[in-house]
Amino acid sequence: MKKLQYIYENGSHKWAIVARDVERPQYLIDTNEYLVINDDRALLTDPGGIEIFPAVFSAINEHFDASAIDMIFSSHQDPDIISSLSLWLEVNRQLKCNISWLWSGFVPHFGGDKNTFIDLPDEGAEIRLQGLKLQAIPAHYLHSSGNFHLYDPVAKILFSGDIGAALSGSEELPIFVSDFDRHIQFAKKFHQRWLGSNEAKQNWCQRIAAMDIDMLCPQHGSIYTGDDVERFINWLAELPVGVM
């Protein structure tokens, strides 16, 4: 079972993480889903794969009517990101999926039709959730060629997809990074192998370092908070990527 935990609450504006499915088959990579709520609207980031859909759905539905989720933000096209799309469309036929224009002909193989997808242009876009103006931030080639992160300028939260991801094998990672130096060992191999472009990485580090971020929330592993956000950006800037 997965659990939902609120990580930001300000009136009717909330962020929650759905994470740590200890009962999942060990051959599946563990994932974090984030639910962004504003008033009666909700957006789900990288809803995950078919296998974990029941665990994600029931964890959310314990706290929030999952059929009220009307937006998906898909950072890229991977199966651990978006292969559950057709199941979410059964929950809400009106659901819209925001994804890079690059993938809008590929991801419909997982489900949906021309009415489902909102193509994100390369330069990014604003995604509105009632009055809340979320921003799709370009992160191309990190690791997907059409890749976006999602910034909430009010909560100062950056959902960073696979950037910041950590893989720990059988060890269960905490929701928040508590010991950066220890944690980052679990992130090193992932970034070296899954990111292919040092140039794209440096551009991302410069762009993100200039932003006001309290929490950097990856799709795998633990959330970076406070000074660990800057520590992570500096660590990534120094790390050679695209190596075996």
Q: In this complex, which beta carbon is closest to Fe ion, that of residue 112 or of residue 161?
A: 161
Q: Is 33 in the site for Fe ion (CB under 5 A)?
A: no
Closest CB 47 distance from Fe ion, rounded Å: 12
Question: Considering Cα of 162, then 45, then 177, then 157, what sign does the dihedral take?
Answer: positive
- Could you say which residues in the range 145-204 bind Fe ion, by CB under 5 A? 162
- Looking only at the bridges linking them, the beta strands covering 69-73 and 96-100 are parallel
Closest CB 220 distance from Fe ion, rounded Å: 6
Answer for the pair 198, 242: CB distance below 8 angstroms, yes or no. Answer: yes
Backbone angles phi, psi at 10, to 5 degrees: -145, 90
Closest CB 144 distance from Fe ion, rounded Å: 6
Closest CB 149 distance from Fe ion, rounded Å: 12
- Could you say which residues in the range 66-85 bind Fe ion, by CB under 5 A? 78, 80
Q: Which residues pair with 19 in a beta bridge?
A: 3
Helix (H, G, I), strand (E, B) or coil at 50: coil
Spatial separation of the C-alpha atoms in residues 48 and 74, rounded to whole Å: 9
Which residue has the closest beta carbon to Fe ion? 78
Closest CB 223 distance from Fe ion, rounded Å: 15
Q: Which two tokens stand for residue 139?
A: 């992160």
- Could you say which residues in the range 205-234 bind Fe ion, by CB under 5 A? 219
Phi-psi region of 9 (alpha: psi -120 to 50; beta: other; left: phi over 0): beta
Spatial separation of the C-alpha atoms in residues 147 and 120, rounded to whole Å: 10
Q: In this complex, which beta carbon is closest to Fe ion, that of residue 111 or of residue 146?
A: 146
Q: In this complex, which beta carbon is closest to Fe ion, that of residue 33 or of residue 78?
A: 78
Q: In this complex, which beta carbon is closest to Fe ion, that of residue 132 or of residue 200?
A: 200
Closest CB 195 distance from Fe ion, rounded Å: 10
Identify the CA nearest to 107 among candidates 88, 126, 127: 88
Q: In this complex, which beta carbon is closest to Fe ion, that of residue 49 or of residue 132?
A: 49
Q: In this complex, which beta carbon is closest to Fe ion, that of residue 84 or of residue 219?
A: 219
**Prior bond of 63 cis (ω within 30°):** no
Number of residues that bind Fe ion (CB under 5 A): 4
Binding region for Fe ion (CB under 5 A) = 78, 80, 162, 219
